[in-house]
Amino acid sequence: MRTIVIATQNPGKVAELRALLAGLEIEVLGLADLSSRFDEPAEHGRTFEQNAAIKALAYAAMTGLACLADDSGLEVDALAGRPGVDSAYYAYPGEAEARQHPRNVRDPKNIERVLGELEGVPLEKRSARFVCCMALAQHDAVLATSRGCFEGRIGIPPRVPAGTHGFGYDPIFLVAPDFQYTSAELAPEEKNAISHRAHAARAIVDKVRALI
């Protein structure tokens, strides 16, 4: 194993993971670095772990290379853990409908739904976390998995949305323990040090190093 493909169509995730895995003596590619175009596999799992494995195995089969996939999303305690695995298309009837729109259209609509469902909930009861699960697959086997969390709260307008970094729900996610800044207001290097994806990446790096 000399090459790992970051198996996502999301350029923000590719950039974050490439930075987090920079310490490994291995070539790290994104799907856009490959000459072929790939259809996104359907994410029919009901846990982050299941969806990460589905994606890693599907892209490993399509590319013939080792693929590292993640599934991540937002869990809000006051919403009984929603949007959860539906985070990327929470404002839409389903994944297929959401994929007809670019992220810069989907993200504000998803944010609007979460804020609407939390209307009237006080800040101290808006606890939430980003969750990231990773899976590394080669051929038809999952070789390693990991999980990371990033604790915070969902802010209250007009304080949020705020910030220009990141993607998804970052502009409404106030970072624990002080809740002074949204994750979209953190510099990329600050977020990469403490994010759910950072925790999951650090947990899987040793496993990947052993494999290579």
Q: Which residues are catalytic?
A: 71
In contact, 5 and 34? CB cutoff 8 Å = yes
CA distance 29 to 36: 13
In contact, 55 and 7? CB cutoff 8 Å = yes
Distances (CA, A) of 131 to 3, 52, 138, 148, 150: 26, 12, 24, 6, 7
Look-up of token digits 């969806």: 51
Instruction: Give yes or no for a cis peptide into 171 (omega within 30° of 0).
Output: no
